[in-house]
Amino acid sequence: MTANLLEGKKGIIFGALDDQSIAWKVAERCVEHGAQITLTNAPVALRMGVIQTLGEKLNAPVIAADATSNEDLENLFDESMSALGGKIDFVLHSIGMSVNVRKKKAYTDSNHDWMQKTLDISAISFHRMMQVAFQKEALADWGSILALTYIAAQRVFPDYGEMADAKSLLESFARSFGYHFGTHKHVRVNTISQSPTITKAGSGIKGFSEFFEYAEKMSPLGNASADQCADFCVAMFSDLTRMVTMQNLYHDGGFSSMGMNPALLES
Amino acid sequence: MTANLLEGKKGIIFGALDDQSIAWKVAERCVEHGAQITLTNAPVALRMGVIQTLGEKLNAPVIAADATSNEDLENLFDESMSALGGKIDFVLHSIGMSVNVRKKKAYTDSNHDWMQKTLDISAISFHRMMQVAFQKEALADWGSILALTYIAAQRVFPDYGEMADAKSLLESFARSFGYHFGTHKHVRVNTISQSPTITKAGSGIKGFSEFFEYAEKMSPLGNASADQCADFCVAMFSDLTRMVTMQNLYHDGGFSSMGMNPALLES
Amino acid sequence: MTANLLEGKKGIIFGALDDQSIAWKVAERCVEHGAQITLTNAPVALRMGVIQTLGEKLNAPVIAADATSNEDLENLFDESMSALGGKIDFVLHSIGMSVNVRKKKAYTDSNHDWMQKTLDISAISFHRMMQVAFQKEALADWGSILALTYIAAQRVFPDYGEMADAKSLLESFARSFGYHFGTHKHVRVNTISQSPTITKAGSGIKGFSEFFEYAEKMSPLGNASADQCADFCVAMFSDLTRMVTMQNLYHDGGFSSMGMNPALLES
Amino acid sequence: MTANLLEGKKGIIFGALDDQSIAWKVAERCVEHGAQITLTNAPVALRMGVIQTLGEKLNAPVIAADATSNEDLENLFDESMSALGGKIDFVLHSIGMSVNVRKKKAYTDSNHDWMQKTLDISAISFHRMMQVAFQKEALADWGSILALTYIAAQRVFPDYGEMADAKSLLESFARSFGYHFGTHKHVRVNTISQSPTITKAGSGIKGFSEFFEYAEKMSPLGNASADQCADFCVAMFSDLTRMVTMQNLYHDGGFSSMGMNPALLES
């Protein structure tokens, strides 16, 4: 396959942290498909220094932005448009962090200030980003916005904690803003509900490896990898999927449509 | 029908404001079915003085509680158990308020501090309340918790604004906490997705009456009234529905299952 | 609870086979709640003779009807209205049989003639029954029609085979006819998606007991029993639920909203 | 975009009738993307002679097959593998016909023999086709199977009649067989739920043009065209979407996520 699906397109990728991140793979794959991009993450994440390596490799400016700060997001869109020489065709939001999970607070003993911080970082940041882009008219006509989510937004995985609630909120923002962006600029907004993926974020969750194995067995195709997710993001950023909007798309090897897989009983 | 479906049961009803409120009707209907209840609302709502009238009529203590304050909620459960003489069998959460909608801020120009306040009042209050009840072991075995929600959590109704996102979050809390409550105490947690209803809260929304008419025509049975919602809540609080949990139940005359109703084209 | 929720109501119960059948329990519970009913099943099922015992106990006429014969169904409604002295307030459809599963044909090696027979018995029978009732104007205003279904209609349980497809079709008939019945007569049509239940029908499925245990552990409240299903049917036949229509209602202890239950990993 | 997303892939396209057919556009687009294909339709459709023109243009053998005949389907796969020189990478099922709708029988007065024929043509044909392909091991590893469907499978559009029920059944077959194909051969099976589209099939439905306009206004991006559907099919046949399976994918400009669009009230 010698496709150049994103030739001439300009994008912003949020949330690449290291070479296990889904966002990292998406950035690489988009550039392979001919896109020009900028990379962004929180100042504290940039200080680790690894993203700069990716930026150099992909010839992609790295722009610090705290996704809970509208000012930072405004600056990010301004700088991205300036660096890429025009409006933005696609955006990936891959940001999530649960304070209560990280601090090992039980769901039934949540600190509600921390919960609000979790929602701000993991979900409201998506609304903020879209609002900034909307007000700046920063998205090109027929652009594509994606956020990564997880099936805990629909079904309970107890160890996932309040992040489930944050993902429900995130998916709702995709629908709500999808209406406004679609009507105004033909921009589509979707979420990809990805298999559990071995990344720094994923492995922070209690019982992650048991859970990864469970999903692997439950899914007829097995768990989708970060690389495969990057391929799917390219499809969703390309012009082949212009009329798909306000959807939550399961990229999970069939997990979401399984009730029970006999493979779980064998072992 | 001479049923006494809630005889011997004790409940707490959040959110009665005036005699148009769904919570008001639920309170009346629960008492008709033999329950003893307490009523609660925010201090500012109590100052209007109408709820006291309902409290007297139903012989139901009225207890002020700001649903965004864990301390107030702790006090509410303590006082309710004391007044009713035991653990709580059922709770209705009927609380919602959007600051951005009230202040006529467009969804694409949201004030994010206000949005966080909206989420706290309309959704996190539900988590707070369940957490307080859980930690106090205040719910009786096989108890039933309900929150009122709206189909904007699944589909976009632009005028509903950020309240759609708050309702998505609320429904997620029902699922997430429903797991913990079910496992621990056989308590079920569900949300009722009610037709648009002419209440003080509903009529604050822009274009409410056009929208009410639209839903009325779309729904094969018409819109469900507040009185009918109260009947359904009684069924969901009764022992007839013990195994229904972590569900979002549409009480909407069929609206949610309609794609198009030819009645909309006639006029 | 001394409720008489169905006092004065007339109903038809399809599918009672023996005292483990859900329909059997529903029949008993409806009569306890004051209803008068008729019982029906296929001639071959009646020949077993057990249903007559139930009929005598409940003072309920037993009327043979092949649910794949419109003529039999016409006769059933005529005789029921005559025996009960008026229009029918509620109907339970609890009929399902998979020829390919029974004959141990793999899903990937289905006999399509048998599949059509499965669909006719398990799903089209529901459409036939509603059509006959509709044309005869046999349902009372604000009546309630229920069919029992299973979550295999939404998610794959491989051993359930083509019955999954039959249940999807059944649920679609509920929605489609629910529109017509709702508009015409305020009659509501819903399906109840019940936990796996130990009945003659259930136990015919390969691997049923492993599966029953799996669902028991997955569900925060455990599996719903046939008795509990009967309670829920009473609620859905009663006037408390008049505005719920065209819905698929999970009565499953929370199974449908679980992604993974840590209880599955312990053993 | 100079993509060759399907280079080296072999496919079978069911259901092209004339140049308005979605299947016709899909065939053209797949060949543009480098695929080799065969075309198939019922003998009676081939007699119209237009498909041969398409076949010549695309260098695609046209093979007659009645999709309700397992023998014809066996022959189709044999001939296709022989003509294309190997196993099949992708299949499009675009077949649907309602006898009752065509003969203007009301849904509440359905002829059930006709209904069974409708289900056989529109849904069971999909199971038959997959079963034949499965048994012949005719699909290549990581192949992709698609069927076209419509949102009437989830929500009621009264004029769509029994076709709604047929589409529910079709979507269930996709899930059920998707498990078997995924486990066995990494083949994915999905359905695309397409906007109402002006084709010969679509325009046969009563009130189609009002309905088309309604959906056009309801959808933030407007209705998806047949050409856009062809693009989306290419994405779903390509290797970019390997881990998406057992899903129903809305390709509808956002229609499915809208509750009400204010644009409907303006006119």
pLDDT digits (tens, 9 = 90+) for C66-122: 999 999 999 999 999 999 999 999 999 999 999 999 999 999 999 999 999 999 999
**pLDDT in the model for residue B144:** 98
Query: Quick one: closest CA in D to C175, which residue?
Result: D156
The alpha carbon dihedral of A19, A24, A30, A36 has a sign of: negative
> Are C246 and B231 a contacting pair at CB < 8 A?
no
Could you say which of C134, C158, C165 has the minimum Cβ distance to residue D172? Answer: C165
Extended strands (E) in chain D = 10-14, 36-41, 62-64, 88-93, 139-149, 188-194, 248-251
Average pLDDT over residues A10-28: 96
Check whether A165 has a pLDDT greater than 70.
Answer: yes
> Angle at the Cα of D109 (from D103 to D114), degrees rounded to 5?
50
How much is the ipTM here?
Answer: 0.97
pLDDT on residue C202:
62
Three-class SS of residue A165? helix
Q: Spell out which residues of chain C touch residue A214, defining contact as CB-CB under 8 Å.
A: 260, 264-265
Average the pLDDT over C218-232 and give the result: 98
Contacts of C151 in chain B (CB under 8 A): none
Contact call for residues C84 and C10 (beta carbons, < 8 A): yes
A204 pLDDT more than 70: no
CB pairs under 8 A between C and D: 96
pLDDT at B211: 87
Tens of pLDDT, residues D75-128: 999 999 999 999 999 999 999 999 999 999 999 999 999 999 999 999 999 999
Query: Are C244 and B256 a contacting pair at CB < 8 A?
Result: no
Confidence band, pLDDT 50/70/90 cuts, at residue B203: low
pLDDT level of residue A1 (50, 70, 90 thresholds): very low
D1, D219, D228 ranked by CB distance to A7: nearest: D1
Q: Judge contact between B41 and B27, C-beta under 8 A.
A: no
- Enumerate neighbours of B (3 or more CB pairs within 8 A): A, C, D
Q: What is the pLDDT of residue A48?
A: 83
Q: Which residues in chain D land under pLDDT 50? A: 1
Distance CA C116, CA C121 (A): 9
Inter-chain touch B211–D156, beta carbons under 8 Å:
no
> Which chains touch A (3+ CB pairs under 8 A)?
B, C, D
Bridge partners of A249? Answer: A192
- Closest residue of chain D to A1, computed from CA coordinates: D5
**Chain A residue nearest residue C212, CA to CA:** A260
Across the B/C interface, how many CB contacts are shorter than 8 Å?
Answer: 142
Q: What percentage of chain B exceeds 90 in pLDDT?
A: 91
Tell me the per-residue pLDDT of A33-74, one tens digit each, with 9 for 90 and over. 999 999 999 999 999 879 999 999 999 999 999 999 999 999
Q: B76 — phi, psi (to 5°)?
A: -60, -45
What pLDDT is recorded for position D1? 47
Q: pLDDT per residue over C144-180, tens digit each?
A: 999 999 999 999 999 999 999 999 999 999 999 999 9
List subunits contacting chain C, requiring 3 or more Cβ pairs under 8 Å: A, B, D
**For all residues of chain A together, what is the average pLDDT?**
95
Q: Which residues of C fall within a CB distance of 8 Å from D135? A: 108-109
pLDDT digits (tens, 9 = 90+) for B40-98: 999 999 998 799 999 999 999 999 999 999 999 999 999 999 999 999 999 999 999 99
Phi/psi at D221 (nearest 5 deg)?
-100, 5
Nearest CA in chain B to A108: B131
Residue B54 is predicted with a pLDDT of 97
Of D151, D260, D262, Cβ closest to residue B259: D151
The pLDDT-based confidence of A205 (bands split at 50, 70, 90) is: low
- Amino acid letter, D198: I
Q: Which spans in chain B are helix H?
A: 22-32, 43-46, 50-58, 70-84, 99-102, 112-119, 125-135, 163-185, 200-203, 208-218, 226-237
For residue B210, what pLDDT is reported?
85
Name the percent of chain C lying above pLDDT 90.
Answer: 91
Q: What is the pLDDT of residues C38-55, one digit of tens each?
A: 999 999 999 987 999 999
Residue B261 pLDDT: 94
Chain A partners of B172 at a C-beta cutoff of 8 Å? 153, 164-165, 167-169
Q: Greater confidence, A204 or C230?
A: C230
CA end-to-end span of chain C? 38
- Rounded to an integer, the average pLDDT of C248-262 is 97
Q: Do B162 and A156 touch (CB under 8 A)?
A: no
- If 0-12 CB within 10 Å is exposed, 13-18 middle and 19+ buried, where does residue C103 land? exposed
Q: How far apart are CA A67 and CA A88, in angstroms?
A: 17
* Token pair listed for D7: 């280079």
Domains and CATH numbers, chain A: 10-266 (3.40.50.720)
Average pLDDT along chain B: 95
For the cut 50, the answer to whether the pLDDT of residue C198 exceeds it is: yes
**Residue B266 reports pLDDT greater than 90:** no
The reported pLDDT for the residue numbered C203 is 65
> Which residue, C168, C169, C171, C189, is CA-closest to C179?
C189
Q: How many CA atoms lie within 13 A of B219 on its CB side?
A: 28
Report CB contact under 8 Å: D110, C120.
no
CB pairs under 8 A between A and D: 142
Report whether A160 contacts A214 (CB < 8 A): no
Residue B178: its chain A contacts at CB < 8 A? 156
Position C85 scores a pLDDT of 98
Residues with Cβ within 8 Å of B44's Cβ and at least 6 positions away in sequence, in order, are none
